[in-house]
Each structure stands twice: as structure tokens, then as C-alpha cells.
Amino acid sequence: MSGFFDTHKATLDQALEAARSRDYWSPYPEIASGKIYGETAKEDGAKAFKSALGKAFELNGHPADGGTVGSEQSPYGLELGIKYPKASPALLLEASRSAATDWAKASVEDRVGVCLEILDRLNKRSFEMANAVSHTTGQAFMMAFQAGGPHAQDRGLEAVTYAYAEMSRTPASAVWTKPQGKHDPLVLEKRFRVIPRGVALVIGCATFPTWNSYPGLFASLATGNTVIVKPHPGAVLPLAITVSIGRAVLAEAGFDPNVLLLAADEPGSEITKELVADPAVRIIDFTGSNAFGDWVRENAGRDTQVYTEEAGVNSIVVASTDNFRGMCSNIAFSLSLYSGQMCTAPQNIYVPEGGIDTDEGHKDFDAVAEGIKVSVDKLLGDPDRAAGVCGAIASDATLERVEAAAGLGTVLRPSASLENLADARTATPLILKVRDSEGDAHHQERFGPISFIIAVSDAEEGIARAAALASEKGAITASVYATDDATLDRAADAFADAGVSLSCNLTGGVFVNQSAAFSDYHVTGANPAGNAALTDAAFVANRFRIAATRRHKAA
């Protein structure tokens, strides 16, 4: 059954090298081009998506108690009406355990080959996935194509690559020979087997259902664990497509497709807590709020390994710049992209109250704030471009949060809806001015297009405040603008101590929101924003153990 492994061995070898070099590499093109994906790929993807609307989603042979669930609503106003198999936690766990034996006994190469084939087939359906992601999360189509398709696939491949590297450190067999002086040596034949922890549960989020789920899903699969995928009720379709493809590949490879299961539910009849608390679940990957992350840790089984990505307060510190317009434009795009609904989006921008030195001369605090505001206005001045950058708001709760936040400071830029997306739920960035000493509204994550430009005494205080907040509340990204190396070095030390990766002087086509597979570590696991990094060795190595068999062998 090693055919899939042989087919994709060259890709795996390149991935292993990319993980070592940390340079740019991806086998999955991020350009939504018919020349790359096929002349009819975009139309075929749209047709496949539309064919799923208003009917039951097909998952052949999937366990079900009877009946269906599904209540997804597109933030763009499109009626989805998709229904998924309804299965109780007990039924899902029984099916998962029944499928576990053969999957656990399979060779590392067979399991990794299956994972690589699933990723390859997912890539071929990236246009279909883009439609599914866009109409469940509100991401604009191009972002949904990239983040929901190739970039998510990159992260899945990265997890498989790290898993393969860790599992293959130990040889499958060895001959152990211990000299005994004048007597014959002691000789043992030793065989080493990777043994998985058990059933893995992947809890998806509403905004990035594939990008955030694929690392845990593929890390657990590759290491021999069966996987139950629990999507957010508002974003089931992208993960249902993923499970459907995975089950087909498993069956073709001769495995029970119940190695991979979908745990769909809907508001009012959620099954997440029951799955989390069941001692049969031995691995949990969770993306979501700190409050539910705490609940997962407190209620998971005693021997369950939990990996989380949670909320945090991401900050930018502005000390000085030699490219004021480039800085303001870069920050404006980061605030606007997907309407701030990214775990990497900046919220707090610390600026010295006395102003900063720039290539355009000294600018006071108000001028810096105004520069950022004007850049957002220019970026979103064209309606079509604004729709492509901002997309739609994933939930009513986020929209309500934006409306309530207007009273948390001096409004520099009010939020507004996008006129050319009249049927969609939209909100452009709300920007507030505050003094750090006059309130703490910015000391917690306010998810969505809400940002604070905060007056501090100087850049040193800005660095200290931002780093302390990251240590206390968590942060996934941090950014600093400074023209002197001493300030950059102090910022690097402060944010490293707070467990946050730092970006310096971003003024071009790289943004603090972005995280590149095989090069960037997404989340460090070193502050309250999450206890795991995507992807490092620690993310995969504790998903399996090694069992040995020893037999005497003639000298």
C-alpha cells in the first residue's frame, strides 16, 4: 500500500528540506489561475459548490443515528441549506475506535502517503474550497482561495512533514550486539513500532476552518491516530469536503474510511463538550476563545493531550520610520484585511505622545494617527477593492462588538458598511484614539475591525506596555517601526521574553497578519494565546510513542 507514498515522495523530500532551510517553498500554487489549475477549474469549482446547496451532503458509509443537522448561513446573504449526517458522540467514538487497529499498524510510509494524497486532491479542488470558505466565513473570494486552499494545504503538509521526520528518527529495526569477552556476544533483534495515542478530536473555528484545522488533523492522521473533525456550526462545508476527500483516499488505500469522521452539529444541540469530556479522546486540537480553551483543558481526560490556539492582543509599536507613507499603508492593509477577523491582526498601535521622526519630518501623535486613518480611507476608497480586502463579517456578535466599541475612545475613523455588498454583513475598520494611562479598554482582545491608537510617553514605554500585555493576555503577532538598531533589538528582546514573534519595519508586500508555512512559526506556545506552535517538533512528537520488541538472534 505504499503507492501513494512513492507518488508523492519528491514532494515530501522538498518539504523536509524547506523545513530545514526555512526559505520560501510551496507545492500548491496560490495564484488562482486557469493555466495552473486547469482552464475550467474556476467554473468547475463554482458549479461543485452550487451543487451542494439546499441538499444533504454525501458522506458515503458515514455513521449516522438518522436525521441531519446543518444551519450554515452565508455572511453574503446566500441561502446555503446544506444538511450533514447527524451522529451522536457515542456512535462516532465507537466507529473511530473500530477503525483504529489497522490504521495504527500501518507503516509510517503508508499513513504519510495517504495524507499526501489527500492534500494533493484537496489542492485540485481549491476553487470549490474557495467558494465553500468564502460563503461560510465571509472571506473575500481571493483570500478564501489562498487561505482556505493552498495556504491551508501548506500547513497540513508542514504537519505531515514534521510528523514523518519525528517518526523516522527511529529505525524500524536494528540488530543490537553486546560483546562478552571470550564468549559469544549477546545479540538481539529489535523492532520499533510507532504507536498512536488514540482518538484525536479537531475542533474547528468559524473564520479559518481549514487553515486552523489542517495542522492538527494531518499531524494526528500521519502519526496513526483516528480523527474526528468537529467543525464550527457556522463553517461546516469546508471541513465536510475535507473529510469526504480523506475518506475516499483511505478506502482506496484499503483502510476503514471511519479513520476520519465528521462531527457536525448546530446551535442548540452542540456535541463538542460531550466529545471533549469522553476519556476515549486522547488528543484535542482547539482553535477559539480563551474561555472555552480553559473549559477544554479543565474537562478533557486526564491523559488527553490538548493543543490550543486562543485569543490574544496583537500590538504595533511606532518609534520612528524612514518611510511614513509605506508604514501607514502597510498598517492600513493589516487593519482592513478580512475586516480584522484574523488571529494575527493588530489591534493596539502604540505611538509616543510627543510624536516620531519620519522621512517627512517630525510628526506629532495626531499626525501619525491621521496618517493611518487616511491610508485606510484610500485603501477602501474604491468599492470593489474594499470588498476584496474586507470581505464580510462572519457573525452577528462581531458586528455588535464593533457597534459597542465606538464608546471606548475618541473615534478617529467610524466603521461603516460596504455599499456594494448590500446583502452582506459588513463593517470597515473602526479606529479609536486613547491614552494608555486613561483606561484599559484596549487591554483585552476585541475581535473584529476594532483598533486603538494609543498615546504613550515614549517608544520604550510602548514596547514595555505591549510586551507586558502579551505576557498577561497573550499575543500571536507583534510589530515595531524604528530607524535605529538599538530600539529594534530592545523590542526583539522584550517580545521574545513575552513569547511573541516580531516583525520589523514592514512597508512593502509582507504584512504582520501573514504567516508562511515551512518558515514562520504560527503562535509560539509561550504565552496565553496558545500552548502550541504551528508547526514545530513538539506539535507532532507527543501524538505517538515508540514500542519495542526484542528477540534473541544467533551470533
184: left (phi > 0), else alpha (psi -120 to 50), else beta?
A: beta
**Torsions phi, psi for 88 (to 5 deg):** -75, 155
Measured distance CA(168)–CA(1) in Å, rounded: 18
Measured distance CA(35)–CA(39) in Å, rounded: 6
CATH number of 3-19+35-60+76-167+197-311+533-545: 3.40.605.10
Residue range 315-504 forms a domain whose CATH class is alpha beta
Report strand pairing: 173-180 vs 501-504.
Answer: unpaired
Q: What is the pTM of this model?
A: 0.96
Measured distance CA(454)–CA(348) in Å, rounded: 7
Q: Which residue matches cell numbers 469536503?
A: 241
Q: Give me the pLDDT at residue 455, please.
A: 97
Cell of 89: 458522540
Provide the terminal-to-terminal Cα distance of the chain, rounded to the nearest Å: 34
Question: Would you call 533 helix, strand, or coil by DSSP?
Answer: coil
Measured distance CA(401)–CA(250) in Å, rounded: 43
Evaluate whether 331 touches 321 at the Cβ level (below 8 Å): no
Residue 210 C-alpha from the chain's centroid: 7
Residue extent(s) of CATH 3.40.309.10 domains in the chain: 315-504
Q: Give me the pLDDT at residue 2, please.
A: 63
Mind listing the pLDDT tens digit for each residue in 252-273? 999 999 999 999 999 999 999 9
Measured distance CA(62)–CA(430) in Å, rounded: 45
Measured distance CA(206)–CA(146) in Å, rounded: 17
Q: What percent of the chain stands above pLDDT 70? A: 99
Measured distance CA(409)–CA(483) in Å, rounded: 29
Q: Which residue matches cell numbers 465606538?
A: 406
Residue environment code for 62-75, b if the CB has 16+ CB neighbours within 10 A, otherwise e: bbeeeeebbbbbbb
Geometric angle at alpha carbon 83, from 156 and 46, rounded to 5°:
60
Q: Give me the pLDDT at residue 178, please.
A: 96
Q: What is the pLDDT along the chain (555 residues), one digit of tens a residue?
A: 569 999 999 999 999 999 999 999 999 999 998 899 999 999 999 999 999 999 999 999 999 998 999 999 999 999 899 999 999 999 999 999 999 999 999 999 999 999 999 999 999 999 999 999 999 999 999 999 999 999 999 999 999 999 999 999 999 999 999 999 999 999 999 999 999 999 999 999 999 999 999 999 999 999 999 999 999 999 999 999 999 999 999 999 999 999 999 999 999 999 999 999 999 999 999 999 999 999 999 999 999 999 999 999 999 999 999 999 999 999 999 999 999 999 999 999 999 999 999 999 999 999 999 999 999 999 999 999 999 999 999 999 999 999 999 999 999 999 999 999 999 999 999 999 999 888 899 999 999 999 999 999 999 999 999 999 999 999 999 999 999 999 999 999 999 999 999 999 999 999 999 999 999 999 999 999 999 999 999 999 999 999 999 999 976
Query: Which H or E run includes 544?
Result: strand 544-552
Evaluate whether 259 touches 281 at the Cβ level (below 8 Å): no
- The candidate with the shortest Cα–Cα distance to 142, out of 428, 345, 151, is 151
Residue extent(s) of CATH 3.40.605.10 domains in the chain: 3-19+35-60+76-167+197-311+533-545
